[in-house]
A and B are shown apart, each in its own frame.
Chain A
Amino acid sequence: NAGVMQNPRHLVRRRGQEARLRCSPMKGHSHVYWYRQLPEEGLKFMVYLQKENIIDESGMPKERFSAEFPKEGPSILRIQQVVRGDSAAYFCASSPGQGGVDEQYFGPGTRLTVT
């Protein structure tokens, strides 16, 4: 029973390039969350998605960032024209989203470095 999978685990991008982070939720989970974590800091909520729907994107910067969770395939967090301040660990989490079960499980994260 595979857990939440994220790839790549490490990503290096030059300023101005695009970063694509992928997340495959646990089997049977239909809800995906993205968080950002800076060194020595807590988890900052970015976006909450269900299949083909964005439920809450209140934590997502208005520009350059977008997220999707298509009917088929992984969830994608996309950062366009990356800047140094985007360097962080990005974590994806999933939850069943059904039957009132809230348990949320995290992936290992993608560490983005912008040079």
Chain B
Amino acid sequence: QQQVKQSPQSLIVQKGGISIINCAYENTAFDYFPWYQQFPGKGPALLIAIRPDVSEKKEGRFTISFNKSAKQFSLHIMDSQPGDSATYFCAASFSNQFYFGTGTSLTVIP
């Protein structure tokens, strides 16, 4: 049973556009929602994270939007760049246990 559902599986965006990746969860006990970025041959790197007491968190070009009532959260990458091309994973956590989405492969074309 997939605790965290992520979509789309792959995404192609023009340089300068907005990339949007969505995740949904069921377990209301989750209290920490991180996003990870992974380049080929590398380990996932923590990108940005949010807790359910806020609806949005922004760090540079990356924004997490969080909808507690809908049990959904999304990653927005503004002004997407070719260097953002990577696989992105959402995750949800409670009590130090983590559940990952299946990943989104993002390609930003020049």
Which chain B residues lie closer than 8 Å to A103 at the CB level? Answer: 34, 46, 49
- Bound CA–CA A45/B103 (angstroms): 14
Q: Which one of B31, B43, B96, B103 contacts A42 once the chains associate, using CB atoms below 8 Å?
A: B103
Is A25 an interface position by the 8 A CB rule?
Answer: no
Q: Mark A72-115, 1 if CB is under 8 A from B, else 0.
A: 00000000000000000001010101000011111111000000
Which chain A residues lie closer than 8 Å to B32 at the CB level? Answer: 102
Contact A33 B98 (CB under 8 A): yes
Is A52 an interface position by the 8 A CB rule?
Answer: no
A42 with B97: in contact, given A104-B34, A105-B46 (CB under 8 Å)?
Answer: no
- Bound CA–CA A106/B103 (angstroms): 16
Which chain A residues lie closer than 8 Å to B31 at the CB level? Answer: 102
Is B89 an interface position by the 8 A CB rule?
Answer: yes
- Bound CA–CA A4/B98 (angstroms): 17
Give the size range of B's interface with the partner: 20 to 34
Q: How many chain A residues have a CB neighbour from B under 8 Å? A: 23
| Dominant SS among interface residues on chain A | strand
A104 with B46: in contact, given A42-B89, A43-B89 (CB under 8 Å)?
Answer: yes
With CB as the reference atom, state the residue of chain B lying closest to A96: B96
Q: Mark A30-56, 1 if CB is under 8 A from B, else 0.
A: 010101000001110100100000011
Report, nearest first, the 7 A-B pairs whose CB atoms are least far apart: A106-B43, A42-B102, A102-B32, A42-B103, A43-B100, A106-B44, A108-B43
